[in-house]
Amino acid sequence: VDLLCLAVEHEDHESAQYLLKEAQVSVPKDPTKDHPALVAARCGHVGLVRLLLDALPHLTTACQKGHLNLVKMLVELYNVDVNDSDIYSQEFTQITELPLYATAMAHMEIASFLLQNGAGFSSYVLIDHPSFCKQLLRQSVRVSWSGLQLPWLELTWYMDLSSQITHLELSSNQLSALPSVVPWGLVHLQSLDLQDNLLNELPLVLSSHEVLCTLREVNLSQNQLTSLPCGLLHLTHLQRLWVSKNQLSELFQVQNDVNWIGLRRLEELDVSENDLNSLPVNIMHCLKFLRTLNASNNKLKELPEPWGCPLKQCRASSNMLESLPEVISVQWRKNLQEMDFCNNKLTELPGYLFELEALVSLRLGGNQLSSLPTSFEWKCIQLRTLDLSHNLLGSDDVPKSKRLGFLVTWTKREPEPPTVNFPAMLRDSLEVLYLNDNQLEAVPPSVCGLNSLTELYLSNPGIKELPVELGQLSNLWQLDLENLNITNVPLNILRETLSVLASLRAHLRKAEPCRLLKMVVIGPPRQGKTTLLEVLQNGRTSQQSSAPCGIDTWSWHLDRPKEHVEFNVWDIGGKTSMSTVNHCFFTNKALYLVVWNLALGEEAVANLQTWLLSIEARAPNSAVVVVGTHLDLIDARFRTERLATLRAYVLALCRSPSGARATGFPDITCKNIEVSCKTLEGVDDLRKLLFHVAVSMKDSSSPCGGCKLIGRLIPQSYLKLQEAVILEKVRRRSEGQVQYLTDNQLENLAQQSPDSDLHNYEDLQTIGFLIDTGTLLHFPDTSHGLCTLYFLCPLWLSECLQCILDLKSTRTVIRNGVISTENLRYLLPHLLPPKPALDIHSLQQVSSNTLQRLFKMSFVPAGFWERFIARMLISLTEMDLQQSFEPHRHAPKASSRASVMYSFAGALQRSRCSTFRVRRRQTVYWREGLLVTFHGGHLVESAEVDWKRKKSGGIRISCQSETRDFSAMAFITDHVNSLIDQWFPLTGTESDGSLLMEQYAPCPLCPPCPPGTEQWTQGHYFSMEDCVLAAVDSQSIVCPQHPEQPVLLQELVPEFFMTDFPSLFLQTSDLEFSEEKSRVLGQGGSGTTIYHALYRSQPVALKMFSFRKFGRQDTMLRHLQSADACRSFSEFRQEASMLRALNHPCIVSLLGISIHPLCFALQLAPLGSLNTVLEESNK
């Protein structure tokens, strides 16, 4: 066998064939991982797989010999048909060679396996081996013989089990008759499934004494019954009865003198798709618990008079009904929720039909309705779906008095609007409305007031125009206009609902085409950006022009034949000290002009990388044009070759080796050009390129599916607000006021115009327009209230930032403590050293007391390290302040003032929490990393991660502690994750769905990699998804390289276990709580629940965080469960941290936290919430 495996692995057909046929080597029967067939399959050798399968014993042979493992391998791995014979005689199967027949000798376990995988009984098996079949079919009291093609049932199979069978499933067989004991004699039978058989009757019973079963569910669908068996009338516990798709001409053939007491508890009756002419009243009125009635697809001419039952669903579509019972609203007013009377012969509807207060769905399509009740007769306040399609609504031959009020339409010949509108009660409830295939000539005006509509079907040949008021239906996502010739909406958008609504809304709001576009000009310093803009605008350069220190703005009107574009140009200076904050001015829907100096060659190309990465990180998928200046400095003799080389270098920045767009870079294909501001060579081509790119730009975030930015329709109110904002900016500049508005001030500006309609629409759209066009600048950062400010002038903001970041200007603010010169260099990348001032290689060596965290990133977002170091400085400063207010048991020595103590233990349970002292004077920073030294260890974070992938990077965090206290790791990873989530949220997924950032935790117990080896060659790496799923229920996680020695999650992922958290952990043994509904105090956000509990015999409020769990575990569900659990841990950490910081007698205090279960305990407010107290006091 080993030789056979070796021949298969090397694809040696001759040797394999010799071993199998000449040497007669037998193929193993057990499906082990070293099985030759599996080896051939792994290597992809199709011919050898076939050769080895031919050498295997056939399925029938394996069944005869009793080789269960071989049978499982053939069926599960090779999908062998369990109903197919191995031996044929003149194209006919030999019955004795069927797999199930072959097992009839003695192999019961194999036979059971074949049945589970779809094997069916044949009459030959039943006749030749009756005892074997009896034993095989009697394996449980829940008999499931569906799909076995049984032609009959033998009474002896289950006679001795008749008193034990509770469920009998015989669907999809070929039964034409049943033994007399089925089903009436099976005493404990509760469920009977006989659908899809050939039954035309069931065993006859003459009295209730012959019915012994306690059936609750009976399914007789898809048979040949002409009437229901009378035995059903004696089933007193029956709740569900399905008899659809039969040949029923009458419900029951029952004599008048027959006494029956069954069906009283029937809740669901399905008699659809039969030949019933009526539903007998004497039987229907006995169904006192009926909730669902389905009589569709019959020949009913009338329905029985309503009776006292809690009916919720009544379906009678595709019948011959001409009218409905008059007392339907009396008996079923409070219960009936769904009615379906489609495809009948109804000519009018009585008003009482709309008095059903619980009605949710009403389907009346396919009738002959020409009018509906007047609006005051409508009382169905919960109606969500109304189907009036395929009727005669709007026909001219209907008397005026009978026309539907809310559907009365008016044209130019009828100047008076309709007097009766759609019922006001339905405007906030109706969600789906079908009006298609009627005789309407215009859309009913009152339909435009149905605010909750999500689906509207208006396909009527007579409708030629859509009312502009339809644009107000903000919830509408499906508008059916099939085969309509609408004249007031462009034909190319008729199939796009959101585009149609946007067009109508634009007409309604008097929208005007906008040709304004923001253009951002960026690039390294001394590249000729300002000079290039002057040449583009004026056609010549100015002798007194100077580059802006921060940012400058002006307007540029670019005219082309028949069209024009107006640019709001932002010239962002390339000063090195401003490189940290320049990308704050980047916004979406802007055209980016990246300028570089051709004369500087490859050096200038390399400097473009940071700018291109910043554009994609802050404004992904933006239009980017790369322009090379100083073309006149390139020698004309070698210009063609030199330009081709430089272009190739530029494209190589944004392209992977395969030619695809590199991750993290914008697309600049066919968007790079070279110009000379001195000779004006290439300037006209640049104007043409800018115009072409501008008019081709689309709004990918638009609900209309990506409309063009130039020429898009903008509501007049938006344009008026834009004018008001510009005037306010000019006024504030002249008066020397600050150049920003608060959200209240901006709202007041919006309401200054008396005819403004901004209060009726989303303010976010208005703000987005002002930001996209460069009128305002806004940051969504929630820290320090920044999200409530709207900056008017980028130049003013740039000067403010320059005052903070410029060293010379900063000296004037050192005294008031805004920022110090020592700390300033940490905000400026060009002032930080490129490498650390000491050898950190030895500090990164992995030992038994080392914990690592790796962030694998397609690209490190621009500005990450500067912001991260700034956050670290702020956090250390805030903790210094907190430390100064905390009582000290021991006075610190003078020599320890350079260290900061972070006490995360409190007075109790010091072993669970941690304490670590950061030595500030030994903290080292460089451009892409930092070293934090604390008492008993150190932490290194750097960008030195080799993933063996071009243009990819990452972050490595190494934490070493002599006491194995890794709380510093939680402290650092919190900052990293928070920074990425807030400032770089677009590092989520790539275009193909793969993650742009992956987080790994190397197993600390695996042996470290020897020097010189690659990172991934040794040791196991836990993904953060594995860690968070394990942390839900366990304290440890198993490493596959040493399963006998689990890894403590408290050390591996300390942030999940709150080891750096300044709080007391609850003793779960002292916690008493129950998840009963009576103990629930309220519901929190994100699925949290607050319970009344006891902790150490004292009442507390326990906030419990729940985790979603899925039954089956595939990759997608596992990812969703991991994301949900990670969100719960993150919210738990944030809330607990915030609550711990609150210390006030009027605020409930945090008493403690717990990880398993994930919860925290708060002081109990015995009188309830503040809202409850205030409401009670007002009563």
Q: Are 496 and 519 spatial neighbours (Cβ–Cβ below 8 Å)?
A: no
Q: Strand pairing of 789-791 and 777-778?
A: antiparallel
Confidence band (pLDDT; 50, 70, 90) for 239?
Answer: very high
pLDDT at 902 over 50: no
- The more confident residue out of 211 and 657 is 211
Question: What does the pLDDT read at residue 895?
Answer: 35
Q: Where are the beta strands (DSSP E) in 37-91?
A: 88-89
Please return the burial class of 899, using the count of CB atoms within 10 Å of its CB with bins 0-12, 13-18 and 19+. Answer: middle
Please return the burial class of 1080, using the count of CB atoms within 10 Å of its CB with bins 0-12, 13-18 and 19+. Answer: middle
pLDDT at 739 over 50: yes
Q: Which two tokens stand for residue 949?
A: 């992938």
3-class SS of residue 1173: helix
pLDDT at 114 over 50: yes
Question: What does the pLDDT read at residue 897?
Answer: 32
- List 998's β-bridge partners, or say none: 856
What is the three-state SS of 382-414? CCCEEECCCCCCCCCCCCHHHCCHHHCCCCCCC
pLDDT at 888 over 50: no
**Cβ neighbours around 1067 below 10 Å, total:** 12
Q: What is the mean pLDDT of residues 111-125?
A: 72
pLDDT at 481 over 80: yes
Find the angle CA(684)-CA(686)-CA(688) to the nearest 5 degrees.
70
- Alpha-carbon span 316 to 343, nearest angstrom: 9
Residue 198: phi and psi, rounded to 5, are: -120, 30
- Alpha-carbon span 1013 to 1065, nearest angstrom: 42
Residue with tokens 């008899």: 243
What is the sign, positive or negative, of the torsion defined by CA atoms of 1008, 1010, 1016, 1018? negative
Q: What is the mean pLDDT of residues 1078-1094?
A: 82
136-165: pLDDT as tens digits: 766 555 677 888 888 888 777 666 667 778
Q: Are 945 and 954 spatial neighbours (Cβ–Cβ below 8 Å)?
A: yes
pLDDT at 318 over 90: yes
Question: What does the pLDDT read at residue 1117?
Answer: 74
Highest mean pLDDT among 367-376, 554-563, 1112-1121: 554-563
Cα 544 to Cα 541, 547, 550, 798, distances in angstroms = 9, 10, 18, 22
Q: What is the mean pLDDT of the chain?
A: 77
Question: What does the pLDDT read at residue 842?
Answer: 63
Q: Which two tokens stand for residue 248?
A: 């029923």
- The more confident residue out of 387 and 795 is 387
Q: Which domains, and CATH codes, for the chain?
A: 2-127 (1.25.40), 138-289 (3.80.10.10), 300-508 (3.80.10.10), 512-696 (3.40.50.300), 715-792 (1.10.10), 832-887+896-1052 (3.30.310.200), 1068-1171 (3.30.200.20)
Question: What does the pLDDT read at residue 746?
Answer: 86
- Alpha-carbon span 757 to 767, nearest angstrom: 14
- The more confident residue out of 834 and 773 is 773
Please state, for a pLDDT cut of 70, what percent of the chain lies above it. 73
Highest mean pLDDT among 303-317, 952-966, 1029-1043: 303-317
Question: What does the pLDDT read at residue 1063?
Answer: 60
Residue with tokens 């005493």: 187
Q: Strand pairing of 516-522 and 590-597?
A: parallel
pLDDT at 123 over 80: no
Q: Are 1041 and 1006 spatial neighbours (Cβ–Cβ below 8 Å)?
A: yes
Residue with tokens 């618990």: 289
Question: What does the pLDDT read at residue 972?
Answer: 81
pLDDT at 886 over 50: no
What is the three-state SS of 506-531? HHHCCCEEECEEEEEEECCCCCCHHH
Residue 621: phi and psi, rounded to 5, are: 60, 30
Q: Are 695 and 687 spatial neighbours (Cβ–Cβ below 8 Å)?
A: no
- Alpha-carbon span 230 to 234, nearest angstrom: 8
**H or E stretch including 156?**
none
Question: What does the pLDDT read at residue 928?
Answer: 76
Confidence band (pLDDT; 50, 70, 90) for 574?
Answer: low
497-552: pLDDT as tens digits: 888 888 888 888 788 889 999 999 988 887 888 889 989 888 887 765 555 566 88
Q: What is the mean pLDDT of residues 1117-1124?
A: 79
Q: Are 632 and 679 spatial neighbours (Cβ–Cβ below 8 Å)?
A: yes
What is the sign, positive or negative, of the torsion defined by CA atoms of 179, 184, 185, 189? positive
Q: Strand pairing of 672-674 and 623-629?
A: parallel
- Rounded CA Rg of the chain: 39
Find the angle CA(320)-CA(326)-CA(327) to the nearest 5 degrees.
125
Confidence band (pLDDT; 50, 70, 90) for 825?
Answer: very low
Strands ordered across the beta sheet of 777-778: 740-742, 789-791, 777-778
Looking at residue 365, its amino acid is: G
pLDDT at 72 over 50: yes
CA-based nearest residue to 126, from 147, 151, 106, 107: 151
Dihedral in degrees, nearest 10, Cα atoms 86, 91, 94, 97: 10
Confidence band (pLDDT; 50, 70, 90) for 823?
Answer: very low
1032 alpha-carbon distance from chain centroid: 21
Find the angle CA(917)-CA(918)-CA(920) to the nearest 5 degrees.
140
What is the sign, positive or negative, of the torsion defined by CA atoms of 648, 652, 656, 660? negative
pLDDT at 248 over 70: yes
Name, in order, each residue with C-beta under 8 angstroms of 252's C-beta and a sequence gap of 6 or more.
227, 228, 230, 232, 233, 280, 283
**Cβ neighbours around 27 below 10 Å, total:** 19
Question: What does the pLDDT read at residue 1176?
Answer: 78
3-class SS of residue 916: strand
pLDDT at 1040 over 60: yes
- Alpha-carbon span 233 to 254, nearest angstrom: 9
Q: Are 505 and 471 spatial neighbours (Cβ–Cβ below 8 Å)?
A: yes
**H or E stretch including 144?**
strand 142-144
- Alpha-carbon span 474 to 1023, nearest angstrom: 42
- The more confident residue out of 61 and 661 is 661
Confidence band (pLDDT; 50, 70, 90) for 1058?
Answer: confident
pLDDT at 320 over 90: yes
Buried b (16+ CB within 10 A) or exposed e, 201-229: ebbebeebeebbbebbebbbbbbebebbb
Q: What is the mean pLDDT of residues 464-468?
A: 90
> For 655, which DSSP code?
B
Confidence band (pLDDT; 50, 70, 90) for 89?
Answer: very low
645-674: pLDDT as tens digits: 988 888 888 877 677 777 778 888 667 789
Percent of the chain that is helix, strand, coil (3-state, to 5): 35, 15, 50
Residue 902: phi and psi, rounded to 5, are: -110, 100
Find the angle CA(156)-CA(162)-CA(167) to the nearest 5 degrees.
115
Confidence band (pLDDT; 50, 70, 90) for 874?
Answer: low
CA-based nearest residue to 1163, from 1178, 1143, 1137: 1143
Of 22-31, 173-182, 275-284, 712-721, which range is least confident? 22-31
Highest mean pLDDT among 217-221, 436-440, 1137-1141: 217-221
> For 1019, which DSSP code?
S
> For 909, which DSSP code?
-
**Cβ neighbours around 476 below 10 Å, total:** 21
pLDDT at 813 over 60: no
> For 470, which DSSP code?
G
Confidence band (pLDDT; 50, 70, 90) for 342?
Answer: very high
Question: What does the pLDDT read at residue 567?
Answer: 94
Cis omega (within 30 of 0) on the bond before 183? yes
Q: Which two tokens stand for residue 455?
A: 């689906």
Question: What does the pLDDT read at residue 1112?
Answer: 54
Q: What is the mean pLDDT of residues 1077-1099?
A: 84
Question: What does the pLDDT read at residue 193?
Answer: 94
Confidence band (pLDDT; 50, 70, 90) for 1150?
Answer: confident
Question: What does the pLDDT read at residue 109?
Answer: 78
Q: Which two tokens stand for residue 701?
A: 């975030």
- The more confident residue out of 802 and 332 is 332
